[in-house]
Chain A
Amino acid sequence: MSDDRIFIRLIVNGESVAREIPARLNLVDFLRDELGLTGTRWSCEHGVCGACTVLINGELARGCLVFAVQLEGCHVETIEGLSRSGVLADLQAVFQRRNAVQCGFCSAGMLLSADALLRENHAPSRAEIREHLSGNYCRCTGYHAIVDAVAEVAAARAVKVKAT
C-alpha cells in the first residue's frame, strides 16, 4: 500500500539517523524533507540530470532512483557533509575562482561526480573529464570552465600526492 511506513536506520553525513518513513519516499525527498538537507536537488526524477547525485557507501548514486528504506545501515553523504569535512574544499575553491558555477543548481551533483572521478583517475584527460561529467546536466556554464576546474584540481592533487 502506498502509505506503508518502514523503520529505517542509516548514517547520513556521519550522523546516525533513525526514522519511520513512507516506503515510497525516495532518498532525495528523504534528505530534503525529513532531514532538511536541501543541498541535494531534484530536477528530473528519472535519473538523467544528475542534480540528485549523492554518495551511498562511498559511491556515486542517483538519489531519485533509490528509496530511503532500501538503505538500512548504509552511509549516505551529501554536499553538506562533504563540504563540512573538507573533502571537496579544493574543488570548491577552484570552481569559485574559475566561475565554474552560475545558478548553482547542478553544483552539488557536479562536485560529487568530479571528486569521484579524481579518486578513481588521478590524471584524467579533458575528454575523460567530459565523459565522466556527462551524467551531470548544466545549462549555465557550457561545461568549459568546469572541465578547466577539474583538470586544475587533478593536477594539484597529483602534486600533493607526489610531495607526500
Chain B
Amino acid sequence: MSILSFLDKPASYIGKRVPRPGAKRLLAGGGRYVDDLRPPRLVHLAFVRSPYAHARLVSFDAGAASRAPGVIRIITAKDIEGLYTPWVGVLTHFKGLKSPPQHPLALERATWQGEPVVAIAAESRALAEDAAALVRIEWQELPSVTDMEESLAPETKPIHPALGDNLAFTRSIDAGEVDAAFAGADTVVVEEEYSFARHTGVCPEPRAILADYDPAGQSLTVHYSNQAPHMMKEIFAKHFGLAENAVRVLCPDVGGSYGIKIHVYPDDMTAVAASILLGRPVKFIADRLESFVSDIHAREHRVKARLALSKTGEILALDMDDLTGIGPYSTYPRTSAVEGNQVVNLTGSWYRHRNYRARLRVAFQNKPPTTQYRAVGHPIACAVTEAIVDRAAAELGLDPADIRRINLIPDDAYPWTTASGLKFEKLSHQAALETLLKLMDYDGLRREQAELRNRGIHRGIGLASFVELTNPGPAFYGVGGAPISAQDGATIRLDPGGSVTCAFSVTEQGQGTEAMAAQIAASALGLPIEKVRIVTGDTERTPYGGGTWASRGAGIGGEAVLQAAHALKQNILELAGIMLQTPAAQLDLAEGWVTDLAGARRIGLDEVGRAAYFRGDTLPPGTQPEMSATRHYMPKLYPFAFTNGVQGSYLELDAETGFVRLLKHWVVEDCGRVINPMLVDEQIRGGVVQGIGGALFEECIYDEAGQLLNGNLADYLVPMAAEMPDIEVAHIETLTQDSALGAKGAGEAGTAGAPAAVMNAVNDALKPFQVRISTQPMTPQRILRALGKV
C-alpha cells in the first residue's frame, strides 16, 4: 500500500481547512506562556542596561541597590565568572566571518545602548526594577559608530580592536560576463540605490525565560519562549558545563516569535547563570521598552543595483552591492552573516539572466545585534529585484506584467540552477503570475487607475515575484559547526483505547504545527482527528530535531510524522493480520477501524491496542507487537526546497499628504502540497502584514550617538487593523519529489514579497509625477520629499 494512499480517502484531512484543536484553549484564556509559570522560590530578574551606544564601565556601586527591599542578589560579570563560557557567532562555512566572544553581562565595555550590564535578582520584577534604579554606574562615553559606511571607513576605529576593522564578513559572486553585458551597444542600463531601515519583531509575548537549576540533581530545566528547544539544550549544556542529558528545555505556548526567539541572548544566558548561582528558579521577561533595545533587530541594508537589459526587455545582467549593519556582534549560533548572504544569493534569482555580480559587506556598528528575522534577506532581495525590474519596465515602456513574462524562468525549464548557484527543483512563476493577474483583475485595475488619474486620484498597482527558501538541509547551518539540526523526528504511539499520541520535534508558536501534524497522523492512520494527541516543545519527550525556522515545519516535520505514521500503520496491520488471519496487504485503516480494502470493518483499533498491551497471551508465540514507531526525516535531493509566489498590491496615494491607503493585497503562492489551506492562508496574511510594517511603518530611529529615539509602541509604529488591507490568497501546488508528502514551506512567503509589492505600487502611483522612492519605510515624509513638496 502506498504511503500516500490515504490521500484519496474522503476522510483524509490533507488539503482540508481543519480548525486547530489547540485554538479553543487559547481563545478561553487557557494559554500557558512562560510568565504564567510560578514555581516556588521564584526569583525575578531586572537588568541595568548600558545607556550609551559605546562606553567603558569605569566603576559601579550597588550598595544602595543591594539593600533595597526584596533584593536577593546583585549580579555582575564577576559574579558569574567561571559559571559559563563565552560564545562566538561564527560558522566555518562563512569564510572570514569574524566576531568577538560575547558574555552574558558586559565586562568592561558596552557596545550598544541596551546591552545588559548588571542583573538584579529580587522577589518581584517591580522590586528588582526599584533596585536597578539605585545602581550607580560611572560610564566613560566612547565614540560610537552607527552609520554603516562610516563604520567601514579606514579612519574609523574598529569597535573590536583585536579584529582589526569593522568588516565582519564579505563575500562576492561573479557569474557569467557581467561587464560585457553592461557594455553592449544596445544595452539599456538602469540603476537605483535602495535603503531599508532597521526594524524589529515586537512579539506580543516579549522574550521570556524561566531557568530552574536544581543544585541537588545538578540539572537544569529551562522553560523558554523559543523556537528551537533542542538547539538551546545543546547550547546551555555546552556553555554552562552541564552534562547533555542534565539539561531539559521546554517551550510552552509561545506568544509569537517570527525568528526573534531563536537566537542566543546575553540576558537569557544571565538568567541561566543566575539560577545556577542562586540554586533557585529565575524568571526574566523583557518588558516592552527593554525589548526595543534588547531583542535582535533586522534588515538594515543599503543596496546599490544596476540592471542591464536589451531594448526588448530581456534582462542581460544584474549587478548589486549590499551593505548591511549587524550591531557589535554576530549572533549565536546562527551568525549574522546569513541575512546578507541570502540577499546576495537570492537577488534576481527568479529571472533567466546568467550574468550576475554581487558584493556583500557586513559591518559592525554600535546598535543592537541584528540578525535573522522572518523571511531573512528575502524582503530585501525581492524589493531590490522587483523595484529595479519595474524601473526598467518604465524606462522601456513595458507593462510590469509583461517584463516579468519575458524574464521569469519558464515553468518548463526545471531543474534550474541560478547564476548565484541556487538549485530550483521545480517552480511555477509563470503560472503564478497569470493566476495573480486574473485574481486581481489586473486589466480592470489599470483601467480604474487611468480613469481616476484623470480626476486627480492617484492609485498604484504593484507586482512582485519572489522565491522563498524553505526546508533547508544541513548545508545551511550544520555544515559550519552549528548545533542546528536540519532533520526532525516523530514518535507515534497507539494507545490501548485506540487513540494515538505523536511526539515530534517541530515546535508551535501559533502557526498550527500541532494541527498540521495531527492532520497527517490522523489521515495516515484513518483516525478521526480528535483521537490524535500531539506533543511538542520538550526535549525530554520528543525526538531530537531542529524546531521551527526557515519554514520547515510542514515540509520536514510533517514528513517525519507521515513516515512514522505509515510505519505504525504497517505494524498495526501486521498485528491485525495475525489476529484476523488475513495478510496485512489486504487490510487498511479507516475511521478508527482495521478494514478490508473495500472499507468493511474487521476489528477496532482499540481491540488491536488491547491485544498488543494486555493480551499478549492471545498472540502466537514469537509475536512482538510494536505499537509505536519513530522516524526521522531530512531532505536529501536539494539543499533547500524553494517555493515561489507573486504578490499584488493596490493602493491610493494622497499626493498632498504623502499618506498611503492600502486598498487590497493578493498573494499567489506555490508551497507544494498544502496540508491545511486555512493555516497556510493565515500564515501568508500574517506575513504580508509584517512585511507591510517594514515597507510603510516600522523603523528603529537612532540619533548619531546611537540612542534609540522611538523605543515604545506609541512611537514605533506596528501595523494595526485599521490601516491594513484585505488579503486574498490563492495556491498552486507543485510538489517536491524530495519527500512523500511533497510539502514545501510557507511561513515566510508573505513577508518576503509584501514590501516589494507595496513599494512597486507606491512608485506606480508616483509615475505621473516622474519621481520614485527607494527607501523603506516609505513614510509620508519620505514620499513628500520624493515629490519635492517638502
A: which residues have CB within 8 A of B? 2-3, 24, 32, 37-41, 43-46, 48-49, 51, 78-80, 83, 88, 92, 95-99, 101-108, 111, 126-127, 129-131, 133-147
Contact = CB atoms under 8 A, between A and B. Distances in A.
B678 to A, nearest CB: 5
Interface in B316-361: none
Judged by DSSP, the binding face of B is loop
Contacts of A83: 27-29
A16 to B, nearest CB: 20
Interface centre among B32, B510, B681, B727 (most CB of A within 10 A): B510
Interface residues of B, number: 57
A63 to B, nearest CB: 13
22 contacts: A38-B35, A39-B30, A40-B29, A41-B255, A44-B712, A46-B713, A78-B29, A96-B23, A96-B24, A99-B679, A103-B26, A103-B510, A105-B205, A105-B256, A127-B722, A130-B724, A139-B201, A139-B256, A140-B256, A142-B682, A142-B724, A143-B724
Contacts of A38: 29, 32, 35-36
Contacts of A130: 721-722, 724
A9 B750 CA distance: 49
Given A43-B288, A103-B510, A143-B689, A49 B204 contact: yes
A117 to B, nearest CB: 11
Contacts, number: 175
A144 B130 CA distance: 41
B202 interface: yes
Contacts of A145: 682, 685
B29 A80 contact: yes
A79 B19 CA distance: 21
Given A97-B19, A140-B510, A102 B205 contact: no
A98 B23 CA distance: 10
Interface of B: 19-20, 23-24, 26-33, 35-36, 69, 126, 130, 201-206, 253-258, 287-288, 509-512, 678-679, 681-682, 685-690, 712-714, 718, 720-724, 726-727, 750
Contacts of A140: 204, 256, 510-511, 682, 686
A83 to B, nearest CB: 4
A8 B692 CA distance: 46
Contact of A99 (B23, B203, B288, B712): B23
Contact of B718 (A79, A101, A139): A139
Contacts of A24: 126
A107 B512 contact: no
Contacts of A48: 712-714
A105 B713 contact: no
Contacts of B512: 99, 102
A105 B257 CA distance: 11
Contact of A131 (B201, B257, B678, B722): B722
Contact of A104 (B19, B31, B687, B727): B31
B379 to A, nearest CB: 15
Given A49-B204, A96-B23, A142-B724, A39 B713 contact: no
B686 A137 contact: no
B204 A105 contact: yes
B69 A3 contact: yes
A140 B31 CA distance: 15
Greatest chain B CB density within 10 A among A98, A99, A147 is at A99
